[in-house]
Chains A and B, each alone.
Chain A
Amino acid sequence: MVHKSIETKYMEARDNVLRSLVNCDRRTFLKVSAAAAAAAATAGVAFPHSFQPVTVTDTDENGKSNEVFRFAYISDSHLYDKQINDRFVRSLLRAVDDVNELDPQPDFVFYGGDLAQLGAASELELGAEILKNVKAPLKMMVGEHDWYLDLGQKWRELFGDDRYSWEHKGVKFVVLNSVIEDDFWTARGMSPQERMGTVAGLDNGIQSRFKVGEAQRQWLSSQLESVPNDKPLVVFSHSPLYKYYENWNFWTDDADEVQAILKRFDKVTVIHGHTHQLLTNRIGNIYFHGMLSTAWPWPYAPQGLPELTVQMNRPDPFNSQDGCGMGQVRVHDDGLVDKVYDLWNRNPVTVSREYMKSFGKTDKPKSANRSSY
């Protein structure tokens, strides 16, 4: 008998259910999905996000909706070639399915970087191929795993500029490349593969620290020059734009300088990848949110965790894809956002704008039963 991995069995069961959903209307869908959930629960399988009923409207305490729009995110898929690792490919497919099933559809889907694991052209092409299936418009950001084999050549060829900005429904969006490292490879005589391999190891202390860099900071200033202080601003960076834990590059070396540029704005939201965990921080008027990975969760670092962070549950190694997922960002008319972490196999966690605004005094997300060791 052919040995089937846990995920293979899971995906087969999931495919069966999805097949049975073809041509069924929404009412039947809910029935089938409830049946699937019950079946899954009996089999000891967790309830996948795709089958959860989707909240269509969001209302504030007065019962009035003030959500202007929402966008979804997918991040840190770390794809190898398909033949080498099918697990990470399946996880990205699952995330794409999940954002495509969001109802209503998000205005756009943001990809948070580290699409590839070792920056290979074939890995990036595979990722691009899968992401083509995203129904909503797609915005891309680069991560260090996409960059350090050819220093961004292939990535730019596929996805365009690594830094850009646009405006959407009254909000200014800026995407940065925050994974620029000082040259540690030339002096060591490293090949491009060795350079990529070094950067790919989170706990590899030989590499340099991430930064946005002088040139890009100037570009950022010029992009924001004519933007008034009261315009809501959302900045995307792969690494957190603050200093969390240096040893794992949960860190941007020139974060202080970048924050200085953002300081004059009333409402700034920074959304970052790289840390593969639920992560929340606030520095002055700048609100920071992490993104989940589709590939694997990182543990919380031994020091430097921002006070505002309510840790996600310790991922269960026996629960495939636990601690992974995708998510959404709901942008409100006051320019602030609710950050939703759609954890696969768990209840979604919302870090609300009230929680951020009150410095954690109100609307605290539910704490984890079991935090990191």
Chain B
Amino acid sequence: MITRNYVVASLVGLAVVVAASSFQKPQDSNKVKVRLCDGETTTEVAASETKTQAGGQAIANKLMAAWLAKHPGRWKMPAQGNKAQQDPDAIIEKRHKIMPPYDNSALLGKGQSEGDTYGNFTKRDLMIWERETKKMVVHGARVFHNAKLLGSTISVSCDMCHPDASNTHPETYPKYQTQIGKAVLLRDMINWCLEHPVRAKPMAEDDPRLRAMEAYIYAQRKGKVLQYNRH
């Protein structure tokens, strides 16, 4: 369900991109012809129309609707209106009550010292930091709660013992684990859990799923004091 919505969302996104690059002048010079990425479906818009995001979305929707009429049942259009219902990341964020990230708005308008190449921090900077970080955290929550994505052979996922990433105590690493016989990091314990209670293959250290899970676990323990070696 989620995957399908995601594909539709990106398809609509693609239509907008393609639409933007396939503007053609039709015979009526007051109108612009826009073509969908299938190379066939087209629509016309007034040349004078102001180019806004909403306008672009409307064009994309119109093209997709025309395409769907030709290919009934191929895609399910996402429900309009409630944005949270369409965005799979927003669904995960709401469902698993992801901790809000640190608010950097105090930095707005400030930057490095005068004369540096990097100037003031803008709203756009803050938005990018938050959006990209959250994307990683949300993906971690997705993997954490999904036995299939974890590769469990017995349908066990992390949340079954650690709801809201409780009792994961990332703030206590590194620490010596007698049973493993060395000092370990959080990711080593995640991999231990994958092998034993979850009965999955351990993940490579640069596996995006492992990195995302680390991100989610740290995010949910926001505000905890770092106490490495705590047992």
**Chain B binds chain A:** yes
The interface residues of chain B lying within 8 Å CB-to-CB of A80 are 154-155
Q: Is the Cβ of A373 less than 8 Å from the Cβ of B169?
A: yes
Question: Hey, which chain A residues are within 8 Å of B145, CB to CB?
Answer: 201, 203-204
B99 beta carbon closer than 8 Å to chain A: no
A204 touches B154 (CB 8 A): no
Task: Mark contacts of B168-204 with chain A using CB atoms, 8 A cut-off: 1 yes-contact digit, 0 otherwise.
Answer: 0100100000010000000000001100110100000
A to B contact number (C-beta, < 8 Å): 69
In the complex, B66 has a CB within 8 A of chain A: no
Q: Are A373 and B199 in contact (CB under 8 A)?
A: no
| Dominant secondary structure of chain A at its interface with chain B | loop
Q: Mark A276-309, 1 if CB is under 8 A from B, else 0.
A: 0000000000000000000011110110000000
Q: Is B4 an interface residue (CB 8 A)?
A: no
A263 interface contact, C-beta 8 A: no
A317 to B160 CA separation, bound complex (whole angstroms): 13
Contact A247 B94 (CB under 8 A): no
**A22 interface residue (CB < 8 Å to B):** no
Nearest opposing residue in chain B for A206, CB measure: B95
Q: Does A372 contact B (CB under 8 A)?
A: yes
Indicate if the CB atoms of A203 and B97 lie closer than 8 Å: yes
User: For window 51-95 of chain B, which residues contact chain A by CB distance below 8 Å?
Assistant: 94-95
Would you call B97 and A85 a contact (CB within 8 A)?
A: no
**B159 on interface, CB distance cutoff 8 Å:** yes
Which of A298, A314, A317 has a CB less than 8 Å from the CB of B163? A298
Q: Is B161 a contact of A298 with CB atoms below 8 Å?
A: yes
Chain B residue numbers with a CB within 8 Å of A117 are 155
Give the CA-CA distance A6 to B94 in the complex, in Å.
37
Chain A 116-152 interface residues, beta-carbon cutoff 8 Å to B: 117
Which of A6, A205, A301, A370 interacts with B96 by CB under 8 Å? A205
**Most B Cβ at <10 Å: residue of A6, A204, A248, A317:** A317
Partner of B167, one of A202, A314, A318: A314
B214 located at the interface, meaning its Cβ lies under 8 Å from any Cβ of chain A in the complex: no
Whether, in the assembled complex, A59 has its beta carbon less than 8 Å from a beta carbon of chain B, the answer is: no
Taking CB atoms, residues of chain B closer than 8 Å to A370 are: 231
The residue from B95, B154, B159, B162 contacting A205, defined by CB atoms under 8 A apart: B95
Chain A: CB-nearest residue to B178: A318
Closest Cβ–Cβ distance, residue A188 to chain B (whole Å) = 8
Name the distance in Å between B224's Cβ and chain A's nearest Cβ: 9
Contacts of B156 in A (CB 8 A): 85, 87
A296 & B154 in contact (Cβ 8 Å cutoff): no
Query: When each residue 338-373 of chain A gets 1 if its CB lies under 8 Å from chain B and 0 otherwise, what string results?
Result: 000000000000000000000000000000001011
Q: Does B24 interact with chain A (Cβ within 8 Å)? A: no
B166 on the interface (CB 8 Å rule)?
Answer: yes
A296 x B160 contact (CB < 8 A):
yes
Which of A5, A203, A206, A372 is the most central at the interface, judged by chain B CB atoms within 10 Å of its CB?
A203
The answer to whether B164 touches A203 (Cβ under 8 A) is: yes
Instruction: Return the contact of A203 from the options B96, B155, B196, B197 (Cβ within 8 A).
Output: B96
Which residues of B are found within 8 Å of A201, using beta-carbon distances? 95, 145, 159
Expressed in whole angstroms, the Cα–Cα distance for A301 and B164 within the complex equals: 10
B1 at the interface (CB under 8 A from A): yes
A206→B94 contact, CB < 8 A = yes
- The answer for the CA separation of A87 and B156 in the assembled complex, in Å, is 10
Cross-interface CB contact of A247 among B97, B154, B199, cutoff 8 Å: B97
Q: Which chain A positions have C-beta within 8 A of B95?
A: 201, 204-206
Are A372 and B167 in contact, with the CB atoms below 8 A?
A: yes
A194 within 8 A of B: yes
Q: Does A43 make an interface contact (CB < 8 A)?
A: no
Q: What 1/0 flags go to B1-24 for Cβ under 8 Å of A? A: 100000000000000000000000
Q: For the complex formed, measure the closest distance between the CB of B136 and the CB atoms of chain A, giving whole angstroms.
A: 19
In the complex, chain A residues whose CB is within 8 Å of the CB of B231: 370
Report whether A299 and B167 are in contact in the complex, using a CB–CB cutoff of 8 Å: yes
Residues of chain B lying within 8 A (CB to CB) of residue A314: 167
Instruction: Determine if A205 and B94 form an interchain contact, defined as CB atoms under 8 angstroms apart.
Output: yes
Chain A residues, CB < 8 A from B196 = 5-6, 317, 320
The reply to whether B199 and A5 contact each other, CB–CB distance below 8 Å, is: yes
Query: Is A85 a contact of B155 with CB atoms below 8 Å?
Result: yes
CA A174 to CA B117, docked complex, whole Å: 74
Q: Which residues of A contact B161 (CB under 8 A)?
A: 296-299
Tell me if B155 and A299 are in contact (CB < 8 A): no
| Residues on B with beta carbons closer than 8 Å to the beta carbon of A84 | 154-155
- Does A86 touch B at the CB level, under 8 Å? yes
- B170, closest chain A residue (CB): A373
* Bound Cα distance A211, B36 (Å): 51
What are 10 A-B contacts with C-beta separation under 8 Å? A5-B196, A6-B196, A80-B155, A87-B156, A205-B97, A247-B97, A298-B163, A314-B167, A317-B197, A318-B179
Interface residues of B (CB under 8 A from A): 1, 94-97, 145, 154-156, 159-164, 166-167, 169, 172, 179, 192-193, 196-197, 199, 231
Other CB < 8 Å A-B pairs besides A201-B145, A202-B163, 16 of them?
A5-B196, A5-B199, A6-B196, A80-B154, A84-B155, A86-B154, A202-B159, A203-B96, A203-B159, A203-B163, A204-B145, A206-B95, A299-B162, A302-B166, A314-B167, A372-B167
What 3 A-B pairs have minimum CB-CB distances, sorted nearest first? A203-B163, A85-B154, A299-B167
